[in-house]
């Protein structure tokens, strides 16, 4: 199979972690008989330095021409970098917002996995963390409160702010279909999270999700109110497989889920459109304070590449092999500095990539 991948190394530690992900992808291609064609493009601060803008039309065209996009990280130190003296529409993060819009990336996927070897970093009680968990939060990314009409007015001398939460049934249906499709690749359970006891938008959300569920008789559907879900994430995270929810709820719940894993350096993410196309990136930032020191943790980016294999190319065996290599390296006690613990062997960013390549087998 030919895989055409556009890479955005980005800023800070981005080039280092993307380099290691490419190493792993190249080993996958060698083992399974695939051909990978990469094209690197500039975005964020790196693009500002060369082109004066965080995202060019040419970069967007290159991304659209690919089968998938693999990204490192975007941005720099907001207090010292000259990038943040620019108007907001010319700062690095504007490039990320721009490419999401240009590529119509409406579905955000953030896995939260507690590896047995890293259970000690989990802030939950041992009786909870010992059971482990492996969930995926599917967040609608382009609708809801963040994209509704908003205004601030003054009425009778009192300032009043108005934000509008709207969803139509087509927006809900397309994210629900993505959620159920991905549940079929996992443990076949969807927890749809809403606030249907209060909000009309949530009542429509629940109705449309139930309509979609009829096409997936092999997937179990349950509904959960968002406040209860927030509690259940710290009480019994092992119960969840795919959490399907709207934009603001997903923003909050995915951050909560990432914290109960104990290590953001391990967390991958993906943003998908209505085809197989997706943009894959680690959940962490650009870490400019450690850029160029070869100490960053590349695992989140490598796991993002595994998500790319699974969701954009339907290469489930290859994705499983990458994830198995990560588990093996952790089990053997190798750690980058951010996840280092007593009795383990500290390794560099590039060494971690080499170890994962070494452990990768069919």
The model's pLDDT over 272-291, given as tens digits with 9 standing for 90+, comes to: 999 999 999 998 999 999 99
> Mean pLDDT over residues 338-350, rounded?
94
Asked if the model's pLDDT at residue 293 lies above 90, the reply is: yes
Domains of the chain, start order: 1-111+267-362 (3.40.718.10), 123-261 (3.40.718.10)
Q: What is the pLDDT of residue 184?
A: 95
Q: Which of 185, 188, 195, 351 is catalytic?
A: 195
Q: Which of 181, 251, 338, 354 is catalytic?
A: 251
Active site residue 241: no
Quote the mean pLDDT of the chain. Answer: 95
Structure-token pair, residue 338: 């951010």
Active site residue 320: no
Q: What is the pLDDT of residue 333?
A: 95
Active site residue 251: yes
Asked if the model's pLDDT at residue 120 lies above 90, the reply is: no
Asked if the model's pLDDT at residue 63 lies above 90, the reply is: yes
Structure-token pair, residue 333: 């006690």
Q: Which of 168, 255, 274, 314 is catalytic?
A: 255
Global pTM exceeds 0.75: yes
> Mean pLDDT over residues 209-218, rounded?
98
Q: Which of 146, 188, 346, 351 is catalytic?
A: 146
Count of CB atoms situated within 10 Å of the CB of 52: 10
Active site residue 280: no
Q: What is the pLDDT of residue 302?
A: 98
Q: Is 207 left (phi over 0), alpha (psi -120 to 50) or beta?
A: alpha
CA distance 213 to 207: 10
Active site residue 26: no
Asked if the model's pLDDT at residue 185 lies above 80, the reply is: yes
Asked if the model's pLDDT at residue 121 lies above 90, the reply is: no
Q: Which of 163, 227, 236, 314 is catalytic?
A: 227
Give me the DSSP letters along 17-54.
HHHHHHHHHHHHHHHHT-EEEEEE---THHHHHHHSSS
């Amino acid at each position: 199979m030919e895989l055409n991948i556009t890479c955005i190394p980005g800023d800070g530690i981005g080039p280092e972690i993307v380099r290691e992900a490419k190493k792993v992808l190249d080993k996958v291609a060698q083992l399974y008989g695939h051909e990978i064609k990469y094209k690197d493009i500039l975005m964020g601060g790196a693009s500002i330095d060369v082109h004066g803008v965080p995202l060019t039309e040419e970069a967007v065209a290159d991304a659209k021409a690919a089968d998938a996009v693999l990204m490192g990280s975007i941005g720099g130190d907001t207090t010292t970098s000259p990038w943040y003296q620019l108007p907001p529409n010319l700062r690095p993060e504007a490039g990320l917002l721009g490419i999401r819009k240009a590529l119509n990336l409406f579905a955000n996927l953030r896995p939260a996995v507690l590896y047995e070897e890293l259970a000690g970093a989990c802030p939950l009680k041992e009786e909870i963390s010992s059971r482990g968990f492996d969930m995926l939060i599917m967040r609608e990314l382009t609708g809801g409160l963040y994209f509704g009409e908003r205004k601030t007015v003054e009425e009778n001398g009192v300032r009043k702010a108005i934000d509008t939460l709207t969803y139509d049934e087509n927006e809900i249906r397309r994210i629900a279909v993505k959620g159920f499709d991905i549940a079929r690749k996992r443990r076949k359970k969807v927890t749809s999270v809403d606030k249907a006891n209060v909000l009309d938008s949530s009542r429509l959300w629940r109705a449309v999700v139930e309509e979609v569920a009829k096409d997936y008789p092999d997937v179990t559907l349950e509904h959960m109110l968002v406040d209860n879900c927030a509690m259940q994430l710290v009480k019994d995270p092992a119960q969840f497989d795919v959490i399907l929810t709207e934009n603001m709820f997903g923003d909050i719940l995915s951050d909560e889920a990432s914290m109960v894993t104990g290590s953001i350096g391990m967390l991958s993410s993906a943003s998908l459109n209505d085809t197989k196309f997706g943009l894959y990136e680690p959940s962490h930032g650009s870490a400019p304070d450690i850029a160029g020191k070869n100490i960053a943790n590349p695992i989140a980016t490598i796991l993002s590449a595994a998500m790319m294999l699974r969701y954009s190319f339907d290469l489930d065996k290859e994705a499983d092999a990458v994830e198995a290599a990560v588990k093996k390296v952790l089990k053997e006690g190798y750690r980058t500095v951010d996840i280092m613990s007593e009795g383990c062997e500290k390794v560099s960013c590039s060494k971690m990539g080499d170890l994962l390549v070494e452990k990768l087998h069919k």
